[in-house]
A and B are shown apart, each in its own frame.
Chain A
C-alpha cells in the first residue's frame, strides 16, 4: 500500500516537473521572440545632450545615494547609542529595541557598498569608455570632475560603511558582552560566529541557506538574461560565464559542506 502511495505521489511530482519544464521552454521561446523584436527595433545610441545628462545623473546618483544612506545610518546609530547608554543592564525590552534599531544601518551599509561599486562601474562606462574607444579625443573637464566625484564617493562609501559597521558591532558588543571580534580583523566573521551560542548560530545558518537559495534563483534568471542579450544585443560570452561561475561556486561550496563528515 505504502509503495503504491509513494509511486502515485512520485508520478504527480514527475508530471508537475514536466509541466514546469514545458512552461519554462514556452516562456524561454516567448522571451527570445520578444528580445528579437526589441533588438531589431532598438539601436543604442546617445546624442551628446543625452550622454551629458546621463553623465551628471550617474555621478549625482552615486554621490546623492551615499550622502542619504550615510546620514540615515548615522542617525539610526546615534538613536541606538542613546538607548544603549541609557540601558542599565536590567531592561530586556530596551536592549531588544536597541538591537532592532541597529539592524537597518547594518543592512543599508552592506547593500550600499554593492550599489556603489555598481554605480561606479556605470560612471566609468559612461565617462571613460568613449575616450578609451577613441570616440572622444580626450576626457572633457566636466567629465573628469564627475569621474573624480564618483571616485571620491566610492572611497567615501568605504570609509562610512566601515565606520557604521564598526559602531554597530561595538554597540552590539556592549549589549552582548560575550560577543567577540572587530570588523578590522581579517577573520572577523569566524571570530564572531565562534562567540555565538546555539540559537544565534542557527539563525546565521538559516539566513545563509536562504541566501544560497535566492542566489541560485537569481543566477538562473541571470543566465537566461545573459544568454538572450548575448544573442540579440551582442554582449558577448563573459556575462553568461560569470553567472555560471558564481552558481558553480555556490553549489560546490554547499555540496562540499553538506557532505556528512565520517
Chain B
C-alpha cells in the first residue's frame, strides 16, 4: 500500500476516538480504523474532509510513496 498516513497522530491531537472522528468527517468508525491501519485509501472527498477537521493539508496527513515494484 503506497499511501502512508498520520491520521492516528492527528486524531490523538484532536483528542477524539475513532467513532467520534468518524462522526466529525461523516464516515464510520470502521473506515477510520481501516485508514489508520493502511488497509483503505480514502476517496479525495474523504481525505479533504479529514484534512479540514484536522486543520491540516491533505499532504500533511497522507503521503504517497512510490512502490518499489513500479520503478523496476
Contacts and interface: CB of A to CB of B under 8 A. Distances in A.
A90 interface: yes
A92 B31 contact: no
Interface string A186-227: 000000000011111010000000000000000000000000
B28 A178 contact: yes
Interface SS, B side: helix
Chain B interface size range: 10 to 19
A176 B30 contact: yes
Nearest to B45: A198
A176 B17 contact: no
A196 B31 CA distance: 10
B46 interface: yes
Contact of B33 (A90, A92, A198, A202): A92
Given A89-B19, A90-B17, A198-B42, A99 B31 contact: no
A175 B31 contact: no
Contacts of B18: 92, 95
Contact of A200 (B17, B19, B28, B35): B28
A183 B33 CA distance: 26
B68 interface: no
Contacts of A202: 40
Given A198-B43, A198-B46, A199-B34, A92 B29 contact: yes
B7 to A, nearest CB: 12
Interface of A: 89-90, 92, 95-96, 99, 175-176, 178, 196-200, 202
30 contacts: A89-B17, A89-B19, A92-B17, A92-B18, A92-B19, A92-B29, A92-B33, A95-B18, A95-B19, A95-B29, A96-B33, A176-B28, A176-B29, A176-B30, A178-B22, A196-B28, A197-B28, A197-B31, A198-B27, A198-B31, A198-B42, A198-B43, A199-B30, A199-B34, A199-B35, A199-B42, A200-B28, A200-B30, A200-B31, A202-B40
